[in-house]
Amino acid sequence: PFEGVTPADARRDPPDLHTPPMQFAMHNARVSPALESLIFKCLAKQKEARYPSMSLVSRDLETML
């Protein structure tokens, strides 16, 4: 997730943590919008916006199968 030639480069120029993650479909069209939404919910900056438990993540993943 960090770019740079060396680890020191990556530490010196950290990513903008306020920029939302890039859409997965830009890299892999096979990623469904539902899966992308689930992943973004897991990665949410605000704790309240994330899943409160892994059992709920598992439940939502099972509904996608």
Instruction: Report pLDDT for 3.
Output: 61
Q: Tell me the pTM.
A: 0.69
pLDDT band per the 50, 70, 90 thresholds, residue 5: low
Question: 3-class secondary structure for 2-54?
Answer: CCCCCHHHHHHCCCCCCCCCCCHHHCCCCCCHHHHHHHHHHCCCCHHHCCCCH
Q: Write down the domain spans for the chain.
A: 21-64
Per-residue pLDDT tens for 18-60?
Answer: 777 778 888 888 999 999 999 999 989 899 999 999 999 999 9
Residue 21 phi, psi dihedral angles, 5° rounding? -65, 155
The pLDDT, as a whole number, for residue 40 is: 92
Residues in contact with 14: Cβ distance below 8 Å, sequence separation at least 6, in sequence order: 2
Q: Look up residue 45 and give its two tokens.
A: 């900056």
Give me the pLDDT at residue 59, please.
Answer: 98
